Amino acid sequence: MEYILKNGIVYDPTHNVAGDKKDVMIKDGKIVDNVSSDAKVLDVTDKLVMAAGVDVHAHIAGPKLCLGRLYRPEDSRAGLVAKTDITRAETGFSIPSCSATGYRYSRMGYGTVTEAAVPPLEAKHTHEEIMAIPNIDVSPLALFGNNWFVLQFVKANDLEGLAAFVAAWLKLSKCYGMKVVNPCGSEAWGWGMNVHGIDDPAPHWDVTGREVVRALTQVNEMLGLPHSMHVHPNDLGHPGNYPTTIGTLDAVKDIKKNPNVIRDQTIHCTHLQFHCYGGTSWRDAKSGAAPVADYINKNKHVTCDVGQVTFDETTTMTADAPMEYDLYKLSGLKWANKDIELETAAGLIPIIYSPKAPVNALQWAIGLELFLMINDPWQVVLTTDSPNAGPFIRYPRIMSWLMSSDRRTEMLENEVHKWATKRTDLASLDRVYDWNDIATVTRSAPAKILGLEQRGHLGVGANADVAVYDIEPENFDATKASNASVIEDVMGRAAYTIKDGEIVVKDGKIVKVVPSRHMWTNVTGFEEQEKKVLEDIMPMFNRYYTIKFENYKVFDHYIDPAIEFKIDAGK
């Protein structure tokens, strides 16, 4: 099938196309520069055209989601949509049903989403849920930061062994890249403890977060994985945590990037908002965004996503179990814990972010400060750490905040607690994002950061993942506060979402359902070392895991259809 999207206003930051009126041509699922006369013409005259969105960090599939749905049936009754001839019924607000997750991303014009925290032990379950999520390709990241084998290799300072282990474990779990969550802290939680800062060792291991992040980052570059180290640093959500954040980023500064990757960074810091707090307690907490943004502005080895608070009742879920327990102690709401044997520990608790609550207003303002203080939009990605700071369906609302300082002023003056004004610099930031910046932080930058060459742009050869929005950028003043609701509305229901050259959304409605592909990285060139490592660790595996190794692996039928990223690590 061939399409030609005619006369749209195109934003493609990868190719320095910023609001040019031009056609986008599609053939056989790819962007091309020429189509035959049989091509179907889609008249998108003067409408906003971008590559489909790419989410660098969200929680959409796996055991935490399942636990959340079981634990929060009251969330399921929000967001009810009846089934249609094409779609299944939808349920849920912060933890939508699997099919609803796919439809909702698709309606926003997104085509790729990273599932940010897969415990390898539960990778099968994660892939099962991805099979039930339509219309978005998913790049799952496996958790390594509290894995016993990783801690063992780090302690022995055996990088070669660690690299082989990571290569083997990505194959076993069929994951795309590596994720580290509160390194050593979630392991400490097994003893009812946490670690504080990057130099506090995990009990009984005598290994620190700094050592784990450094070793895994070195291995990531040694193997040349498409995505970089993706880290949720220690001390999440604690007042005074920003030095830990900067310390974590600085700990890998000297590590050389693999020459074969398309990304610029060696470390991606996720949901940075939760890691930029000053003060010493919630009494005197204040923003720590400025020093962190300053560090990022000076250091190109770092990228981040924000984890913007959206003022919703949502669900927090993370492999940072001790943090979830702290949150439970603060809010008293129902709390669930999930231990993942030798790998990690997760927690879950509902949360209500209120604009009138001082702490929540502060968090909201810090998120926006980061967007506005980090100069290069290629270093910052729009996320809510969905559902932790808010559900992903709020992305269009965040765009409206970024595009209008008048709207932000209106909120600071009338809607949010004064801590947002008094304890942050948000009120003094009048920078606004234009459509090019929006395209950068929602598609081009995340695709590049993930190392996805064929996504996030509209160059020839790219996947034909395209979004068209029912707004005319040339006849619309996005800086006007009163237009914020218009932005939220149109960016939430794409006029067209095209996935691999097929129209899946038209006029905000799902018109076609296609299976999501499972993206995974196959490291080659380490086979001998992998074999040896597996032999070496098998006694410990057999002794401590509750399942047999034969049943641990994700079999191929769990990842159909798949996209394999073959990496030659010997190169």
Which CB atom, from 179 or from 397, has the smaller least distance to Zn ion? 179
Question: How far is Cα 69 from Cα 76, in angstroms, rounded to an integer?
Answer: 7
**Burial category of 319 from C-beta neighbours within 10 Å (exposed 0-12, middle 13-18, buried 19 and up):** buried
Q: Does 330 bind other proteins (CB under 8 A)?
A: no
Q: How far is the CB of 268 from Zn ion (least distance, A)?
A: 12
Chain position whose Cβ is nearest to Zn ion: 385
Q: How far is the CB of 278 from Zn ion (least distance, A)?
A: 22
Distances in Å between the alpha carbon of 275 and those of 230, 294, 348, 484, 486?
Answer: 14, 14, 19, 28, 32
Q: How far is the CB of 75 from other proteins (least distance, A)?
A: 8
Distances in Å between the alpha carbon of 507 and those of 1, 468, 495?
Answer: 20, 10, 4
- Contacted by 116, from other proteins, Zn ion, none: CB < 5 to 8 Å by type: Zn ion
User: At what angle are helices 289-298 and 242-250 packed, to 10 degrees?
Assistant: 10
Which CB atom, from 142 or from 336, has the smaller least distance to other proteins? 336
Q: How far is the CB of 181 from Zn ion (least distance, A)?
A: 8
Q: Is the peptide bond before 387 cis (omega within 30 degrees of 0)?
A: yes
Paired tokens of 403: 């595009």
Which of 80, 86, 333, 547 forms a contact with other proteins (CB under 8 A)? 333
Is residue 271 within 8 Å of residue 306, measured between CB atoms? yes
Binding segment toward other proteins, per CB under 8 A, in 37-45, 67-75, 169-177, 250-258: 67-75
Q: How far is the CB of 365 from other proteins (least distance, A)?
A: 28
Q: How far is the CB of 312 from other proteins (least distance, A)?
A: 16
Is residue 260 within 8 Å of residue 224, measured between CB atoms? yes
Residues binding other proteins: number (CB under 8 A): 8
Question: How far is Cα 278 from Cα 10, in angstroms, rounded to an integer?
Answer: 40
Q: How far is the CB of 65 from other proteins (least distance, A)?
A: 15
DSSP readout, 313-349?
A: EEEEEESBHHHHHHHHHHH----EEEEETTTEEEEEE
- Contacted by 71, from Zn ion, other proteins, none: CB < 5 to 8 Å by type: other proteins
Which CB atom, from 230 or from 338, has the smaller least distance to other proteins? 338
Which residue, chain included where needed, has tokens 């490291």?
523
Which CB atom, from 182 or from 287, has the smaller least distance to Zn ion? 182
Q: How far is the CB of 571 from Zn ion (least distance, A)?
A: 32
What string marks each residue from 106 to 145 as x (binds Zn ion by CB under 5 A) or -? ----------x-----------------------------
Q: How far is the CB of 74 from other proteins (least distance, A)?
A: 4
Q: How far is the CB of 348 from other proteins (least distance, A)?
A: 12
- Contacted by 204, from other proteins, Zn ion, none: CB < 5 to 8 Å by type: none
Binding segment toward other proteins, per CB under 8 A, in 65-73, 141-149, 376-384, 537-545: 65-73
- Contacted by 333, from other proteins, Zn ion, none: CB < 5 to 8 Å by type: other proteins
Q: How far is the CB of 226 from Zn ion (least distance, A)?
A: 19
What string marks each residue from 376 to 395 as x (binds Zn ion by CB under 5 A) or -? ---------x----------
Is residue 441 within 8 Å of residue 18, measured between CB atoms? no
Residues 491-530 that bind other proteins (CB under 8 A): none
Paired tokens of 53: 């969105």
Residues 68-97 that bind other proteins (CB under 8 A): 71-75, 77
- Contacted by 532, from other proteins, Zn ion, none: CB < 5 to 8 Å by type: none
- Contacted by 385, from other proteins, Zn ion, none: CB < 5 to 8 Å by type: Zn ion
Question: How far is Cα 340 from Cα 348, in angstroms, rounded to an integer?
Answer: 14
Which CB atom, from 116 or from 567, has the smaller least distance to Zn ion? 116
- Contacted by 461, from other proteins, Zn ion, none: CB < 5 to 8 Å by type: none
Which CB atom, from 335 or from 371, has the smaller least distance to other proteins? 335
- In three-state form (DSSP H/G/I as H, E/B as E, the rest C), the secondary structure along 50-109 is EECEEEEEECCCCHHHHHHHHHCHHHHCCCCECCCCCCCCECCCCCCCHHHHHHHHHHCC
Which CB atom, from 71 or from 401, has the smaller least distance to other proteins? 71
- Contacted by 352, from other proteins, Zn ion, none: CB < 5 to 8 Å by type: none
Q: How far is the CB of 116 from Zn ion (least distance, A)?
A: 5
Alpha carbon 480 to its chain centroid, in Å, reads 29
Q: Smallest Cα–Cα separation from 492: which of 387, 368, 394?
A: 394
Which CB atom, from 116 or from 504, has the smaller least distance to Zn ion? 116
Amino acid at 470: D
Which distant-in-sequence residues (6+ apart) come within 8 Å of 158 by Cβ?
Answer: none
Which residue, chain included where needed, has tokens 């310390």?
247
Which CB atom, from 42 or from 116, has the smaller least distance to Zn ion? 116
Please report the sign of the dihedral spanned by the C-alpha atoms of residue 123, residue 127, residue 132, residue 138. Answer: positive
CA dihedral 97, 99, 100, 102 (to 10 degrees): 130
Phi-psi region of 525 (alpha: psi -120 to 50; beta: other; left: phi over 0): left
Q: Given the rule CB under 5 A, which residues bind Zn ion?
A: 116, 385
Q: Given the rule CB under 8 A, which residues bind other proteins?
A: 71-75, 77, 333-334
